[in-house]
């Protein structure tokens, strides 16, 4: 799921960069392209996918086999998930605080920055959880 989200963020990032380059080359079209650029459905879909990934990680529900639900809700997995969510929350607050500062001092496109921050905000707790689980399995 993270790879699908990464590919969609990369594609949307390239689309935004191409639209921005086109606007710089043809300023007369800026008003017409700006409507399509601001109302683009791509960032909304990516935000929806990021939200689905975050919710499915925070509250894991498996509909296929009920035996998987017991595995996903055992004591160790719940504690590791809580640690990962805590680390992800702290990192997300730090990333968005850094984004406000960087937007004030640089010329970064806010839409591109937010797409990458959304991806990092979803990927970081999942990867941290995987690392904690690997460490717990290795030591036990």
CA distance 19 to 5: 21
Burial state string for 11-44 with b = 16 or more CB within 10 A and e = fewer than 16: ebbeebeebeeebeeeeeeeeeeeeebeeeebbe
Q: How many other CB atoms sit within 10 Å of the CB of residue 51?
A: 12
pLDDT at 29: 67
> In the chain, how many domains are there?
1
Dihedral of CA 85/78/7/32: which sign?
Answer: negative
pLDDT tens for 91-137 read 888 888 888 888 888 888 888 888 888 888 888 998 998 888 888 88
pLDDT at 35: 47
Residues of the domain holding 91: 2-139
Over 80: is that where the pLDDT of 138 sits?
A: yes
Rounded to the nearest integer, the mean pLDDT of the chain is: 79
Dihedral of CA 87/89/90/96: which sign?
Answer: positive
Closest to 118 (Cα-Cα) out of 28, 24, 9, 42: 9
């Amino acid at each position: 799921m993270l790879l699908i989200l990464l590919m969609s963020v990369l594609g949307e990032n390239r689309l935004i960069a191409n639209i921005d380059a086109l606007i710089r080359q043809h300023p007369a079209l800026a008003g017409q392209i700006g409507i399509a650029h601001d109302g683009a459905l791509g960032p909304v879909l990516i935000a929806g996918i990021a939200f689905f990934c975050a919710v499915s990680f925070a509250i894991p529900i498996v509909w296929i086999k009920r035996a998987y639900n017991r595995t996903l809700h055992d004591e160790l997995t719940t504690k590791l998930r809580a640690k990962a969510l805590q680390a992800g929350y702290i990192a997300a607050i730090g990333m968005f605080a850094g984004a406000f500062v960087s937007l004030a001092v640089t010329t970064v496109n806010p839409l591109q920055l937010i797409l990458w921050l959304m991806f990092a905000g979803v990927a970081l707790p999942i990867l941290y959880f995987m690392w904690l689980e690997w460490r717990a399995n290795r030591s036990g």
